[in-house]
Amino acid sequence: MPPSTDNPRTATQQEHLDAVSKLLAKQRLVEDLVQRQGDHDSRRPGIVESMVHRQNLVELQKRLDGLHPADVAYILEGLPLEDRLVVWGLVHSERDGEILLEVSDAVRDTLLADMDSAEIVAAAQNLDADEIADLAPDLPQDVVQDIIEAQDVHERAQLQSALSYPEGSVGALMDFDVVSIREDVTCEVALRYLRRFDELPGQTDALFVVDRDDHLRGILPLKRLLVSDPEVEVASLLDRNVVSFSPDSDAEEAAKAFERYDLVSAPVVSADGRVIARLTVDAVLDFVRESQETQVLAKAGLREEEDLFSSVWLSAKNRGPWLALNLGTAFFASRVVGAFEGSIEKLAALAALMPIVAGIGGNSGNQTSALIVRALALDQVSAANARRLLAKELGISILNGAIWGSVLGVVAWLLYANVALGGVMALAMMLNLVVAALAGLFIPLAMERFGRDPAIGSSVFLTFVTDSMGFFIFLGLATIFLL
C-alpha cells in the first residue's frame, strides 16, 4: 500500500490545500456571476447558479469531512482570513474542538473570534479535560467558566486539576486516560477486564498496576501481557522499576526521560504516590517540536508566533520591542564610536575597518555561546568542568585570533600601506576574540543562574559586548599607537 492520493491519510497536505483552494476559487467565480446577474437582472440569483453554488459547498464539505483534524488544521493555516472562515463555517461543529487543538495559537485566535460563546462551550463538550485545558489560555475567562460548569462532577475535577498547572510542567501535558489494574489478579482476569472497554485509550502500551488506594506498584507492559500464560499473576510480571513523574515536574526533563528510556506512556503520580494521570509520547513529541519552534522565533525577537496572514499592525507590534532593545544596544555602541570621532577624522580608514573587528567577535562569541547553551541544556556544565571549558575557549580564541588577526592585519597593511595600522588591526582582532570567548561563556551561565532561558536572550547581550568592546579596543589602540 504505497502512498497514493486515494488514501486521504497519505495524500500530502499540500495537495489537500490545493484542492480546497481550487474549490474556493471556483466558488468565488460562481459568487461573482450570481452577484453580476443580481445587479442587472433581478434581485435574486439565477436558479442554475444557486445550484452550482450549493453543489460546490457540498463538495468542499465532503472533502473536509474525510480529512483528519490535523489536515483540516493545516488547510486553515494556509488560507487567508476570508477563505479560512468560509472553510471553518463548513466544518461540522462536533469536530470544532479537535481542530482548534491542532491549529497554531495565532490561527486559533482568528477562529475563536468567529465563534460565539455557546459554540465554544459546545465544541469543548467533545474534548477531554486535558484538551480543554490546552485551549483555555486562548478563551475569555467567562467562557472558561461556562465550560467548567457544563462538565459533570468527575470531569470538572479533572479539568480544574489540569488548569492548575503552568505551561512547561508535566501537569499541563498529562491526560487522564489511565487504565489501571491490581497486582493480585491473573492475566486472564486482566484480559477479561480489558475486554469491557470498547477500545483502550490511544498510546496505551502498559497498564498501571496499583494497590487498593491507587498507589503505583509498577506497570505491566501490554507486550508482556500478550505473550504471558493467562494463569500467571500480574504481580509476577510487573515492572517495578518505573519512570514516573509528578505533575509539577519540568516538562523538558520529562521529555528527556522519554527520549532516554524510549517510553510510550508513563504514570503521573501525586506527592503521596497515587496515580492521577499519565503522560504520553504524542504529547511529548508535540511539546518538543513546539518549544523548538518557539525558541527559534524568540531568538529572532518574535514574542509570539505570527499568523502568516495577520495584519501589518499586529505584526509590527509583535516585532517592535525587539527592534527597540537592539536599537538601544546599537546606540550605546554608536556612542563608543562617537567618543573617537577625533581619531576617525584624522584616519578615516578606522571607520572602514572597525565593523570587521566587531562583527567577527560576534560570530566567534556566538559559537562559544551555542555550545555552552547546549551543554547547559544537557546538564553537562558543572563547577568541576567550568574551568576546563574556560581554558579551552580561551585557547581557541587566542589561536583563532592569531590566525585571522594576522590575515586581516596583513590585508589592512597592504590596503592602506600602513604597517602600524595592520598591527593595531591584528591586535584588536585577537583581543576582541578573547572578549567574545569570555562573553560567550559567561553570558549563558549568568542567564541560567538568574533563571532566564540562555537559548533566547544570550545573543543580544553578546552582540552588545562584542560590538561595543570591538569598537572600543580597535579605536582605542589606534588612538594610542597611530595618532
Site for its own copies in 16-35 (CB under 8 A): 17-18, 21
**Residue 416: CB atoms within 10 Å:** 16
Binding status of residue 413 toward its own copies by CB under 8 A: no
Per-residue binding string, its own copies, 109-148, x by CB under 8 A, is: ----------------------------------------
Question: What is the size of the binding site for its own copies (CB under 8 A)?
Answer: 146
Q: Using CB under 8 A, which of 90, 194, 235, 477 touches its own copies?
A: 194
Q: Using CB under 8 A, which of 51, 150, 308, 446 touches its own copies?
A: 308
Nearer to its own copies, 122 or 330 (CB): 330
Give burial (CB, 10 Å; 0-12/13-18/19+) of 144: buried
Nearer to its own copies, 14 or 145 (CB): 14
Distance CA 22, CA 60 (A): 10
Q: Using CB under 8 A, which of 150, 167, 395, 483 touches its own copies?
A: 395
Question: Which has the closest alpha carbon to 402: 372, 427, 368, 376?
Answer: 427
Q: Using CB under 8 A, which of 89, 140, 168, 320 touches its own copies?
A: 320
Q: Using CB under 8 A, which of 11, 85, 115, 349 touches its own copies?
A: 349
Site for its own copies in 439-458 (CB under 8 A): 455
Q: Extract the C-alpha cell encoding 387.
A: 574551568
Tell me the closest approach of the beta carbon of residue 300 to its own copies, in angstroms: 4
Instruction: Convert 462-475 to b/e letters by CB count within 10 Å (16 or more is b).
Output: bbbbbbbbbbbbbb
* Helix segments in 185-311, DSSP class H: 187-194, 222-227, 251-261, 281-299
Distance CA 310, CA 457 (A): 26
Q: Using CB under 8 A, which of 5, 14, 125, 145 touches its own copies?
A: 14
Nearer to its own copies, 49 or 77 (CB): 77
CA angle 161, 167, 171 (to 5 degrees): 35
Q: Using CB under 8 A, which of 38, 46, 273, 423 touches its own copies?
A: 273
Contact between 405 and 354 (Cβ < 8 Å): no
Q: Using CB under 8 A, which of 43, 212, 260, 387 touches its own copies?
A: 260
Q: Using CB under 8 A, which of 30, 45, 60, 78 touches its own copies?
A: 78
Interacting stretch for its own copies, rule CB under 8 A, among 32-40, 133-141, 146-154, 404-412?
Answer: 404-412
3-state secondary structure of 232: coil
Half-sphere exposure at residue 191, Cβ-oriented, CA atoms within 13 angstroms? 15
Question: Which has the closest alpha carbon to 463: 438, 428, 429, 439?
Answer: 439
Tell me the closest approach of the beta carbon of residue 48 to its own copies, in angstroms: 28
Binding status of residue 70 toward its own copies by CB under 8 A: yes
Angle between helices 105-112 and 69-78 (to 10 degrees): 90
DSSP at 68: -
